[in-house]
Each structure stands twice: as C-alpha cells, then as structure tokens.
Amino acid sequence: MNSVAATPHAHSAGAPLPFTRLRAAVDDLYPRLLEAILEQRITPASRFTEDSLKQWFGASRADVRRVLTQLSHEHIVVLRANHRPRIAAPDAEQTRQALHARRLAEGTLVRLACQRPQADDVKRLRGLIARERMEVEQDRRGAAIRLAGEFHLQLARMAGNAPLAHFLSSLVPLTSLAIARSEGSSHRCCAWQEHLALVEAVESGRVAEAMMLMNQHLDQLEQTLLGSDLGQYIVG
C-alpha cells in the first residue's frame, strides 16, 4: 500500500472549515468534496450545512444535495432529518466487515477481468495509476486515496459484472475513509506500484498471479488498518 505522509487537520465543532471559495465546476463537486473529507479538511467534528458547502464550492444547493446523498449511500456522510450533515466515523468492526466483503468481491472481479482485458480498459487503469503516482509525489494524500479507490472500481467495471461492481462501489469509499482517518508514520510501500503489477497481470491474462496480487494487496490493507501496524498512512 502506498504511503502518503501528511498531518490530518482536525477541527473543533464550532470552527469554520478551511476553505476559500473554490468555484468548482459541477462535475468536480463530488471529487473535490470527497478529497476535502479524505484530507481531513472536513472531519466528523466539523459543522457544515448545505448552504455553507454551496458557498465554499460555488455550487448550487441541488448539486450539493445530490453529492451529499451520494456520499451518504457510500457511508461517507450521515444524513438525518432536521440535523446537520456529518462525516461518518467508521469503527474497527465496520472496517473489518467492509474489508472482508471486498476480499470476497474483488477475488471474483479480478478473475473475471483477466478473462476480458480490453485495451481501452487497460488504458484507463494505467491512466489512473499515473494520476495516483503524481498525487503521491505531490503529497496530495486525499486525492491519492480517492484515485486508489477509483482504480479498484474501474477494475471492477472492467470485469463486466455490473451487480458485483455496484456492490464493490458501496465498500470502497468506506475503506477510503478509514484510510484517511488513520494516523501514524509513513508506510514505505507504494500502492500505485501494486496497482501497476495488478494491471500487468490482468492485461496478460495471468489469472492466478492477479488473484494472488489482489489478495496480498488487501492483506496489506487489512494489516495496516486493523493489525499491529494500525494507523500507518497508506493508500488502498
């Protein structure tokens, strides 16, 4: 897993969020908001509303509401009637269950992807890896975590099983949030390198190798988040 050294910025419940007006395009709202959460610029202790997000990101209330709803379906944001939105705080058991479900799903998905490696799909995966590597090198941890998750989702789409890919899309964001909330020293392993090895195995149709690499990748993620090395910075 990749390490991106950074210091989370926690905020008290009454503190304003550290944003200038971003003037994000509507299409950028989801990744920008997600990255702000993964970078700990918005934390479970932060107080925010649809109106404040509208102002900070230069988006319409309808678009803010749409993105918050999507993030709530992904277990990143908690929405309750007559309450402010808040960022979820997954505990160890929730993280453990998500990782177990990911292992079951991604073992099948990577096997299916090896059976139908299309050039355009492989090109997209390599593009995500290049962007992930760039964000790592620029020490943009939130963006790197988001792109690492997108890599797994793109690989799932490549497998050609829509229900299973949809199931994985409900698990990856929660894992990304757990990674973002981890604390500690940098980890020396690089997720983009592990992702590259996976792509090469999938592209060549080496099923056994691809499945082994995926299992090792998820083993490392579980050990980092839940094992004796709990809290090291990684990108899954």
pLDDT attached to residue 6:
35
**Each residue of 174-228: pLDDT tens digit?**
999 999 887 643 443 468 999 999 999 999 999 999 999 999 999 988 888 887 4
Superfamily of domain 92-226: GntR ligand-binding domain-like (1.20.120.530)
**Each residue of 99-138: pLDDT tens digit?**
999 999 999 999 999 998 999 999 999 999 999 999 999 9
**Each residue of 63-83: pLDDT tens digit?**
999 999 999 999 999 999 889
Give 16: exposed, middle or buried? Use CB within 10 Å, 0-12, 13-18, 19+: exposed
**Each residue of 40-49: pLDDT tens digit?**
899 888 889 9
**Each residue of 162-175: pLDDT tens digit?**
999 999 999 999 99
Q: Is the pLDDT of residue 89 over 60?
A: yes
Q: Where are the domains of the chain?
A: 92-226
212 half-sphere exposure, CB direction, 13 A CA radius: 6
Nearest residue to 236 via CA among 203, 200, 192: 192
pLDDT attached to residue 23:
42
d(CA 1, CA 151): 13
Residue pair 35/235 in contact by the 8 Å Cβ criterion? no
